[in-house]
């Protein structure tokens, strides 16, 4: 089969693509920030919280990690309105992404916390630091440092996973590519361009996070 | 001069290109007749045109049409389920020989594929709850509407509705309907058949017909340059129209005769 490429037909719709890129980045940024806070809180709960809290957090983590993202998203967008919670596609997407990243981040960060030597904690306690100080200043920074590469990968996975949010009409990059191809039937070109943009976004985001992590979260 | 490796590779490449050119010269109709099977794309999310029954077997007007065409050609039919958004790419990439999927004809589509004669009636409209006051397209300003991406409704609405109408586009009709039923959008633009099914199953919504978008009968989509196949399909449709098969199918699935269909 002969293929005539016409990238102009797709690139001519750049305002749509740009909007898509901004939505993808925006959703990912919000999901990353809130998801990491959730992850740290849940990791602490699972590592040293009271038993009932460990149980609750454990259920949350297992529930999210053992179900597909698209099912979680559909549950929030199509399921919750039946219970009276009506959410816009964008809010539903953010909630799904936060919950998803939160659960995976919990396990990643917990691995880092459990790898902290006991002696280090005992030393901190003997210096009269309280429980919160020990966690935030002694346990968390080296834990984050150890697991940062895994954390960055998970964030990238969530960013790429946001493509699924186009299914509930969130206007991110895949939605833009799909809309363009449904209008001018240039499916091959539209998805080649979307692929290249996703690749660039992933490489860029990875570099940014690899630079920002050591600078802001855990010293050198 | 000894032929270098490079010129040998070039010759091979040229030969490969030539070979694909030859393969392409053979028409789809010939291939179908030789293989004794035809791949026809049908909807499975668009009752009564195409849906699946309890045993997951495709059924509906489009499915019956596909079986009719295969039967008249004397070949086996292989049904390929498609959605509104991907049915034309399926034809372009030859994953299907024909598309019988409530396909409406418009200028944008005629640029990329060919159409047969029409085989069934079809119209699209806007639906909303009874309490929503919509008398004309101007009243849709500032409202939200659920549409299926790549469907005619999407394109037609853009021409007549005010710019302040907010579109929520979904991948297939099931998702579009689900969004409206869940109350995620105020209005719904879809075909009469799909909306009828939705209203019947969800009487609590109090949804009703508001505005006619477009009367657009269904055509069969054929890849560009497949004139023998197109001629054959048109012949089958013309015969079915004459002997009343099309009318009987429309009555069975849509509850009304096929009416006056454009050729």
Q: What average pLDDT score do residues B30-58 get?
A: 91
CB distance A1–B24 less than 8 Å?
A: yes
| CATH number of the domain within which A138 lies | 1.10.3720.10
Q: What average pLDDT score do residues A102-110 get?
A: 97
Residue A100 pLDDT exceeds 90? yes
B143 closest CA partner among B135, B132, B158:
B132
pTM value is 0.76
Give how far Cα B164 sits from Cα of A90, B137, B153, B161, Å: 19, 11, 17, 8
Q: Within a domain: residue A4?
A: no
Residues of B with CB under 8 A from a CB of A: 20, 24, 85, 88-89, 92-94, 108-109, 111-112, 149-150, 154-155, 167-171, 175, 178-179, 182-184
What pLDDT shows up at residue B85? Answer: 87
Q: Tokens 């909007």 correspond to what residue?
A: A19
The alpha helices in chain A, defined as continuous H runs, are 7-11, 14-48, 51-65, 69-74, 89-114, 118-126, 131-133, 140-161, 173-184, 187-212
Q: What average pLDDT score do residues B151-170 get?
A: 92
Burial letters for B167-182: b for 16+ Cβ neighbours within 10 Å, e otherwise?
Answer: bbbbbbbbbbbbbbbb
**Residue B70 CA from chain centroid, whole number:** 18
The C-alpha R_g of chain A, in whole angstroms, comes to 21
CB distance B182–A187 less than 8 Å?
A: no
Q: Are B87 and B164 members of one domain?
A: no
Q: Are B101 and B158 members of one domain?
A: no
Strand B187-191 to B144-148 pairing:
parallel
Residue B245 pLDDT class (50, 70, 90 cuts): very high
What pLDDT shows up at residue B78? Answer: 95
Which chain A residue's Cα is nearest to B172? A167
Q: How many independent structural domains does chain B possess?
A: 2
Angle at CA of residue B17, ends B14 and B18, nearest 5° = 85
Q: Are B70 and B118 members of one domain?
A: yes
Q: Are B103 and B43 members of one domain?
A: yes
Q: Within a domain: residue B262?
A: no
Residue A23 pLDDT exceeds 90? yes
What pLDDT shows up at residue B251? Answer: 86
Q: Are B146 and B31 members of one domain?
A: no
CB distance A168–B24 less than 8 Å?
A: no
Which chain B residue's Cα is nearest to A74? B175
Residue B26 pLDDT exceeds 80? no
| CATH number of the domain within which B113 lies | 3.40.190.10
Q: Within a domain: residue B11?
A: no
CA distance A171 to chain B (A): 9
Q: Within a domain: residue B4?
A: no
- Set of chain B residues whose Cβ sits within 8 Å of the Cβ of A183: 108, 150, 155
CB distance A184–B92 less than 8 Å?
A: no
Q: Within a domain: residue A6?
A: no
Q: Within a domain: residue A149?
A: yes
Helix axes B173-181, B192-201, angle to 10 degrees: 40
Residue A4 pLDDT exceeds 80? no
Q: ipTM score of the complex?
A: 0.74
Task: Quickly count: other Cβ atoms within 10 Å of residue A170's Cβ.
Answer: 27
What pLDDT shows up at residue B8? Answer: 66
Q: Within a domain: residue B165?
A: yes
- Set of chain A residues whose Cβ sits within 8 Å of the Cβ of B93: 1
Give how far Cα A181 sits from Cα of A3, A108, A149, Å: 15, 38, 36
The tens digit of pLDDT for each residue in A175-204 reads 999 999 888 888 889 999 999 999 999 999
CB distance A187–B169 less than 8 Å?
A: no
Residue B137 pLDDT exceeds 70? yes
**Residue B71 CA from chain centroid, whole number:** 21
Q: What integer best gives the mean pLDDT of chain B?
A: 88
Q: Tell me which of A2, A185, A192 to substitute to probe the interface with B (most B C-beta atoms closer than 10 Å).
A: A185
| A125 vs B74: CA distance, rounded Å | 85
Q: Are B32 and B150 members of one domain?
A: no
> Which of B1 and B151 is assigned the larger pLDDT?
B151
The tens digit of pLDDT for each residue in B5-14 reads 666 666 666 6
Q: Are B87 and B139 members of one domain?
A: no
The tens digit of pLDDT for each residue in B168-204 reads 999 888 899 999 999 999 999 998 888 888 888 899 9
Q: Are B113 and B127 members of one domain?
A: no
What pLDDT shows up at residue B176? Answer: 94
Q: Within a domain: residue A154?
A: yes
Q: What average pLDDT score do residues B44-63 get?
A: 89
Domain span at residue B184 reads 123-215
Q: Are B106 and B140 members of one domain?
A: no
* Percent above pLDDT 70 for chain B: 90
The tens digit of pLDDT for each residue in A114-152 reads 998 999 999 999 999 998 899 998 999 999 999 999 999
CB distance A78–B179 less than 8 Å?
A: yes
Q: Within a domain: residue B19?
A: no
Residue B1 pLDDT exceeds 90? no
The tens digit of pLDDT for each residue in B198-232 reads 888 899 999 999 998 988 899 999 999 899 999 99
Q: Within a domain: residue A3?
A: no
What pLDDT shows up at residue A83? Answer: 87
Q: What integer best gives the mean pLDDT of chain A?
A: 93
Q: Are B72 and B175 members of one domain?
A: no
What pLDDT shows up at residue B252? Answer: 87
How many H-runs (helices) and E-runs (strands) does chain B carry?
Answer: 10, 12
| B221 vs B193: CA distance, rounded Å | 20
What pLDDT shows up at residue A220? Answer: 52
* Under 8 Å between Cβ of B209 and B188: no
* Under 8 Å between Cβ of B121 and B241: no
Q: How many independent structural domains does chain A possess?
A: 1
The tens digit of pLDDT for each residue in A34-83 reads 999 999 999 999 988 899 999 999 999 999 999 999 999 999 999 998 88
| B101 vs B91: CA distance, rounded Å | 11
Q: Within a domain: residue A77?
A: yes
Strand B98-103 to B113-120 pairing:
unpaired
CA distance A78 to chain B (A): 6
Residue A86 pLDDT class (50, 70, 90 cuts): confident
Classify residue A206 by burial, with Cβ atoms within 10 Å: 0-12, 13-18, 19+.
Answer: middle
Q: Are B100 and B173 members of one domain?
A: no
| B7 vs B13: CA distance, rounded Å | 10
Q: Within a domain: residue A135?
A: yes
Domain span at residue A104 reads 12-217
Q: Tokens 């991948």 correspond to what residue?
A: B171
Q: Are B43 and B81 members of one domain?
A: yes
CB distance A182–B150 less than 8 Å?
A: yes
A154 closest CA partner among A56, A39, A21, A77:
A39
């Amino acid at each position: 089969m002969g293929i005539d490429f016409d990238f102009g037909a797709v690139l001519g719709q750049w305002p749509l693509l740009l909007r898509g890129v901004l939505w993808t980045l925006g959703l990912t940024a919000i999901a990353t920030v809130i998801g990491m806070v959730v992850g740290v809180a849940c990791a602490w709960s699972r590592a040293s919280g009271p038993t009932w809290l460990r149980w609750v957090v454990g259920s949350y983590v297992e529930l999210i990690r053992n179900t597909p993202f698209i099912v979680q998203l559909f549950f929030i967008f199509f399921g919750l309105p039946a219970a009276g919670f009506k959410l816009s596609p964008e809010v539903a997407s953010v909630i799904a992404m936060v919950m998803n990243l939160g659960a995976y981040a919990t396990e990643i960060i917990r691995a880092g916390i459990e790898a902290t030597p006991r002696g280090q904690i005992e030393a901190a306690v003997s210096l009269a630091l309280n429980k919160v100080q020990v966690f935030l200043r002694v346990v968390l920074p080296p834990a984050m440092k150890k697991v940062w590469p895994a954390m960055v990968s998970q964030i990238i996975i969530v960013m790429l996973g946001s493509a699924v949010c186009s299914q509930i009409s969130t206007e991110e990059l895949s939605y833009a590519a799909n809309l363009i191809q449904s209008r001018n039937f240039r499916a091959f070109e539209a998805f080649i361009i979307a692929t290249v943009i996703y690749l660039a976004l992933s490489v860029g985001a990875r570099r940014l996070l690899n630079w920002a992590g050591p600078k802001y979260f855990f010293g050198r | 001069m000894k032929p270098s490796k490079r010129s040998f590779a070039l010759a091979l490449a040229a030969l490969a290109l030539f070979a694909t050119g030859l393969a392409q010269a053979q028409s789809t109709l010939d291939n179908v007749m030789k293989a004794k099977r035809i791949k026809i794309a049908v909807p499975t999310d668009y009752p009564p045109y195409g849906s699946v029954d309890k045993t997951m077997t495709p059924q509906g007007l489009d499915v019956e049409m596909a079986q009719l065409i295969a039967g008249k050609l004397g070949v086996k039919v292989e049904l390929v389920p498609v959605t509104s958004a991907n049915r034309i790419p399926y034809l372009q990439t030859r994953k299907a020989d024909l598309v019988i999927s409530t396909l409406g004809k418009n200028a944008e589509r005629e640029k990329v594929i060919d159409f047969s004669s029409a085989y069934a009636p079809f119209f699209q409209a806007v639906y909303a709850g009874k309490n929503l006051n919509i008398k004309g397209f101007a009243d849709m300003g500032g409202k939200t509407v659920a549409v299926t991406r790549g469907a005619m409704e999407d394109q037609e609405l853009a021409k007549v509705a005010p710019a302040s109408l907010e579109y929520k586009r979904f991948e297939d009709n099931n998702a579009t309907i689900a969004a409206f039923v869940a109350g995620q959008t105020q209005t719904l633009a879809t075909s009469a058949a799909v909306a009828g099914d939705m209203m019947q199953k969800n009487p609590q919504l109090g949804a009703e017909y508001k505005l006619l978008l477009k009367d657009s009968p269904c055509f069969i989509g054929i890849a560009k340059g497949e004139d023998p196949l197109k001629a054959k399909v048109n012949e089958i449709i013309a015969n079915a129209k004459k002997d009343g098969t099309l009318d009987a199918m429309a009555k069975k699935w849509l509850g009304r005769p096929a009416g006056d269909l454009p050729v």
